A and B are shown apart, each in its own frame.
Chain A
Amino acid sequence: MVTVCKIVIQEQLDKLGIPYELNTLGEVEFQDPISIARREEINVMLGKYGIELLDDQKIIFVQRIKDTIIELINLDEKVSSAKFSDYLAQRLNYSYGHISKLFSDVTYTSIENFIILQKIERAKLLILNQSLTLTEVAWKLNYSSVQHLSNQFKKTTGITPTAFQRIIKMRRLQPGQNS
């Protein structure tokens, strides 16, 4: 996915004849300042591929934080939530305090909340798509027990995992549903 992105970006920037450098993190560095008109051109070109241009350093950094968290949640080896802070600090090369402050400034939510939300989203997908039992999902996402997962699910979404499963199933059977 990342490689495909890089190739698309390289192709499109080459086409526009804009000098740039691509570093190992996949960040593009322009060699000359980019005019507003030029920026618009790049945005239109990359927009076709669903790639957006983010112009704020903070937003870019938050995106990296998010990507790192999501990557960590999707890892098959299990990582306890306590280790998230160490892992983020190490991967992003900033203190966790800095990372966490910047994250809540931009997203209005804490990293802890974001991690919970992402884990619950992943639990939803696992319940819906892979027909895993709740016990298996709890194990896969490193919850200490099914009860813990159930409680966090209910606390985050307001409904139980079983009700969620029922709702989505019934929703897909609704006539005229567009989703």
Chain B
Amino acid sequence: MNQPPLHVLLADDDDDDRMIFKDALEEVRVKTRLTLVKDGIQLMDYLLQDDCDYPGIVFLDLNMPRKGGIECLREIRSDKRFNNISLAIYSTSASDGDIEDTFIKGANVYIRKPNDFASLVKILEDVITINWQYHNSDLNRENFVLSI
């Protein structure tokens, strides 16, 4: 199948988490390519480059130094250029209220970081295939909300 790989971007300040994410993503059946950044400043610098190669989906850690996930979420969702980017919050568990709040601010997916590798692979697989459906099946991305 000659479909181009999905461009995935992860913003996370934890070295281990980035490495585990990278390994898990490689196990996912959908072809992907990954860009890694360490915090919100790096993320926004990346997205705001003139010739930015926009990712199809951004995984965003909430607690990062310099600029956190919520701030990035707000900046990304108030800029029309990023309309086609799906946003997945990738964080340690939070209350239902906190999760709902990120959805209201425009997140599409909320992932509670799992403790084991196999669960992470499964979660990424689910998120990426559903995201793929939204991009390829004329679904309204505004209604894309997934808590996993």
B40 interface residue, CB < 8 Å from A?
A: no
Closest to A117 in B: B133
In the complex the two chains form, is A178's CB within 8 Å of B78's CB?
A: yes
A-side contacts of B104, CB under 8 Å? 167, 170-171, 174
Is there contact, CB below 8 Å, between A159 and B129?
Answer: no
* CB neighbors of A among B68-113 (8 A): 74, 77-80, 83, 96, 100, 103-106, 110
Name which residue of chain B comes closest to A62, CB basis: B136
Count of B residues near A, CB < 8 Å?
34
CB neighbours (8 Å) of B30 from chain A are: 108
Is the Cβ of A179 less than 8 Å from the Cβ of B146? no
| Interface residue? B130 (CB, 8 A) | yes
A62 to B88, CA, bound (A): 27
Q: Please state if B139 and A121 are interface contacts (CB–CB under 8 Å).
A: yes
**Interface residue? A5 (CB, 8 A):** no
B residues near A159, Cβ cutoff 8 Å: 100, 103, 145, 147
User: Which A127-172 residues have C-beta < 8 A from chain B?
Assistant: 128, 157-159, 163-164, 166-168, 170-171
Q: How many contacts between A and B, using CB within 8 angstroms? A: 82
State whether B129 touches A171 (Cβ < 8 A). no
Interface residues of A, CB < 8 Å — how many?
Answer: 33
Residues of chain B in range 19-74 having any CB-CB distance to chain A below 8 Å: 29-30, 74
| Given contacts A171-B104, A179-B106, A109 and B77 within 8 Å (CB-CB) | no
Q: Given the interface contacts A158-B110, A167-B100, does A174 sit within 8 Å of B105 by beta carbon?
A: yes
Contacts of B125 in A (CB 8 A): 108
Cα–Cα distance between A56 and B2 once the two chains are bound (Å): 8
Which residues of B lie under 8 Å from residue A125 when comparing CB positions? Answer: 140, 143
* 8 Å CB contact of B147 from A66, A158, A176: A158
Whether B132 pairs with A157 at a CB distance below 8 angstroms is no
Which A residues are in CB contact (< 8 Å) with B100? 159, 163, 166-167
A22 to B103, CA, bound (A): 45
Which residues from chain A contact B83 at a C-beta distance below 8 Å? 178-179
Task: Give the docked Cα–Cα distance between A8 and B113 (Å).
Answer: 48
Highest count of chain A CB atoms <10 Å: which of B83, B100, B132, B145: B145
In the assembled complex, B1 has its CB within 8 A of some CB on chain A: yes
In the complex, the chain A residue whose C-beta lies closest to that of B83 is: A178
B142 at the interface (CB under 8 A from A): yes
Shortest B84–chain A CB gap in Å is 11
From the candidates A59, A114, A174, A179, name the one contacting B1 in the complex (CB within 8 A): A59
A171 to B140, CA, bound (A): 15
Asked whether any CB of chain A lies closer than 8 Å to the CB of B115, the reply is no
B78 A117 Cβ-Cβ under 8 A: no
B90 to chain A, nearest CB (A): 14
Is A106 touching B1 in the complex (CB atoms < 8 A)?
Answer: yes
15 A-B interface contacts by CB (under 8 A): A59-B3, A107-B129, A108-B29, A114-B133, A117-B139, A118-B137, A124-B143, A158-B146, A163-B96, A167-B100, A168-B142, A168-B143, A177-B106, A179-B77, A179-B106
